[in-house]
Amino acid sequence: MLFNSIDFLFFIVIVLGIFYLLPQKLKMCWILVMSYVFYATWNIKYVLLLLSTTVVTYVAGIGVSKRQEVDRSQTGLRKIIVAITVIIGVFAIGFYKYADFAVGNFNRLLNIAGSSKHFEVMEIIMPVGISFYVLQSLGYVIDVYRGKIEAEKNILIYGLFVSFFPQISSGPIGRAGDLIPQFRQKVVFDTDRIKDGLITFAYGLFLKMVVADNISIYVTRAHENFNTVSGMELLMAVILFSIQIYCDFYGYSLMALGCGRMMQIELMQNFKQPYLQDSIRGFWRGWHISLTSWFTDYLYIPLGGNRKGKVRKCINTMIVFLVSGLWHGAAWHYIFWGGINGVLMVLEEFVRQPIESFVRKLKIATDSKAWKLTKIAFVFAMMSFAWLFFRADSFGEAIYILKSIAHDFRAGWFLTQNCFDSFGASLNVVIILVSIIVMTVVDYLQNTGRDVKRMIFGQQTVYRWLIYLLLLYVIVCWGAYGEEFEQTRFIYFEF
């Protein structure tokens, strides 16, 4: 069940309606049951996997915690419990996500070695959200082990932490310390939070259905015909994909956030205007924050972080980004994408100071808006370059596209009729252009510390309602859905 489907609309109305009618004691049980129902709509067989992940990490949490209470000297045993849990979790992700990838690569190696032996791929259907809820529950066990939080005794509350439906399919990867206490708090029918949740959800829907899905028509067509369309159309597709993936995933995250808020649960912010940052580091501080911070806390810091010198820091950064690439998908182009980002981060680390001193010598006003804009554009270009490897179906396709762009590059093309014609109907250009402008303005306002929601809520009733109705109208009328457009899953559902 996708957030941008009618099914979900009915689902959330029923869930919320009953949620607020039920007595406090039953509210979270209801959400737990509905979370499992939500998950079962994807594939009922994998409910067992979700359940077993919950039970294994719940027991591990208790085990780690009890040891802590009884005998603090037995850290070895606690370490073993954590290690076994992590291995089970990684194995679960590995089996469902990477088994076929591994078999395929092994076959390729055998082929290179001249062997005629060939192993059949298993064609495993990956359970939705496995990469998210396994990481979330492993984070919980590690946090209990580290003594950051107490182990949760109530399996229903813990089960809800793992399976909470707004976040189960694509995050944000929550932290037990933030979420579990919220599941215990008294829920009141707080209309301000519900309103906030509704508008957050609606804006997420706008980003997904109006911006991302309309752009995806262009991008998909360009990638499907990458060897026949012009280099400039491919360049446009590369630029647009950067916006598409942002609006797709940010849109999903906002919908998750909105749903949670309507139930008085505050999920982690997953994005912070990444494309308005003027450094690669800044971009990653604002992109998929819950995953980046998870990798920082549970991989980068245990590897030594930045505490063991610059070289070690760079190596750790590379490891984190390569793992992140692999986490995104079982294909080499994802790993390569992770690698590019790692290299960009490392390069930035090394060249930042020389560039700053060079800029000072040139007497460029570094605090000017033009300079900041230049840096933002540069970061966007770098990220778009990296996203190309993420979006392409193969490494070869990405290289072909790059060559095609280099061969056909004409900056003036963007102002020609051909550019407009490549979008098909003129309405498509208007929709994409206007929606990107709206998204950019909202991001800009947020980035400069202004709360757009508060600005809307502060308007007079008439203007406020006009905004609500306009948003609704734009989603219904400009959204890409219906018979001529196959409903797309969120890109991050694949991970």
Instruction: State the catalytic residues.
Output: 328
Which stretches of 225-331 are DSSP H helices?
231-262, 280-286, 289-295, 310-328
Give the nearer residue to other proteins in terms of CB position, either 377 or 427: 427
Residue 91 touches other proteins, criterion: CB under 8 A: no
Give the nearer residue to other proteins in terms of CB position, either 44 or 469: 469
Provide the minimum distance between the beta carbon of 266 and other proteins in the complex, in angstroms, as a whole number: 20
**What is the Cα–Cα distance from 16 to 198, expressed in whole angstroms?**
12
- Answer whether 201's CB lies under 8 Å from 68's CB: no
- Tokens 């508008």 belong to 199
Provide the minimum distance between the beta carbon of 203 and other proteins in the complex, in angstroms, as a whole number: 16
Residue 482 touches other proteins, criterion: CB under 8 A: yes
Both tokens of 250, joined, read: 């940010």
Side-chain-side CA neighbours of residue 268 (13 Å):
23
Give the nearer residue to other proteins in terms of CB position, either 58 or 478: 478
Give the nearer residue to other proteins in terms of CB position, either 85 or 216: 216
Provide the minimum distance between the beta carbon of 191 and other proteins in the complex, in angstroms, as a whole number: 4
Out of 318, 348, 481, 489, point to the residue binding other proteins (CB under 8 A).
Answer: 481
Taking CB under 8 A as the binding criterion, the range among 5-13, 130-138, 232-240, 292-300 that sits at the site for other proteins is 5-13
Cα three-residue angle 349-449-373, rounded to 5 degrees: 50
Provide the minimum distance between the beta carbon of 483 and other proteins in the complex, in angstroms, as a whole number: 5
Both tokens of 438, joined, read: 């709206």
**What is the Cα–Cα distance from 353 to 359, expressed in whole angstroms?**
10
Site for other proteins in 393-432 (CB under 8 A): 427
Taking CB under 8 A as the binding criterion, the range among 3-11, 123-131, 149-157, 412-420 that sits at the site for other proteins is 3-11
Which stretches of 164-275 are DSSP H helices?
165-168, 176-184, 191-205, 213-224, 231-262
Both tokens of 247, joined, read: 């609006």
Provide the minimum distance between the beta carbon of 128 and other proteins in the complex, in angstroms, as a whole number: 20
**What is the Cα–Cα distance from 161 to 167, expressed in whole angstroms?**
10
**What is the Cα–Cα distance from 121 to 6, expressed in whole angstroms?**
36
Provide the minimum distance between the beta carbon of 240 and other proteins in the complex, in angstroms, as a whole number: 21
Both tokens of 166, joined, read: 């707004």
Give the nearer residue to other proteins in terms of CB position, either 31 or 234: 31
Out of 6, 14, 124, 455, point to the residue binding other proteins (CB under 8 A).
Answer: 6
Cα-based distances in Å from 230 to 165, 194, 440? 43, 47, 28
Residue 26 touches other proteins, criterion: CB under 8 A: no
Applying CB under 8 A, what is the total number of residues that bind other proteins?
22
Give the nearer residue to other proteins in terms of CB position, either 202 or 289: 202
Residues 6+ apart with CB under 8 A from 493: 128, 129, 169, 170
Phi, psi of 422 (to 5 degrees): -65, -15
Q: How many CB atoms lie within 10 A of CB 84?
A: 14
Site string (451-480) toward other proteins, x via CB under 8 A? -----------------xx--xx--xxxx-
Both tokens of 320, joined, read: 């984190």
- Answer whether 137's CB lies under 8 Å from 53's CB: yes
Give the nearer residue to other proteins in terms of CB position, either 272 or 464: 464
Nearest alpha carbon to residue 218 among 205, 208, 206, 229: 229
Burial of 96 (0-12, 13-18, 19+ CB in 10 A): buried
Give the nearer residue to other proteins in terms of CB position, either 116 or 461: 461
Provide the minimum distance between the beta carbon of 293 and other proteins in the complex, in angstroms, as a whole number: 34
Site string (181-200) toward other proteins, x via CB under 8 A? --------x-x--xx-----
**What is the Cα–Cα distance from 422 to 408, expressed in whole angstroms?**
15
Give the nearer residue to other proteins in terms of CB position, either 216 or 290: 216
Provide the minimum distance between the beta carbon of 460 and other proteins in the complex, in angstroms, as a whole number: 14
Provide the minimum distance between the beta carbon of 248 and other proteins in the complex, in angstroms, as a whole number: 20
**What is the Cα–Cα distance from 44 to 234, expressed in whole angstroms?**
40
**What is the Cα–Cα distance from 221 to 218, expressed in whole angstroms?**
5
Give the nearer residue to other proteins in terms of CB position, either 24 or 394: 24
Side-chain-side CA neighbours of residue 44 (13 Å):
1
Provide the minimum distance between the beta carbon of 488 and other proteins in the complex, in angstroms, as a whole number: 15
Both tokens of 258, joined, read: 């909105």
Binding site residues, other proteins, CB under 8 A:
5-7, 23-24, 189, 191, 194-195, 427, 468-469, 472-473, 476-479, 481-484
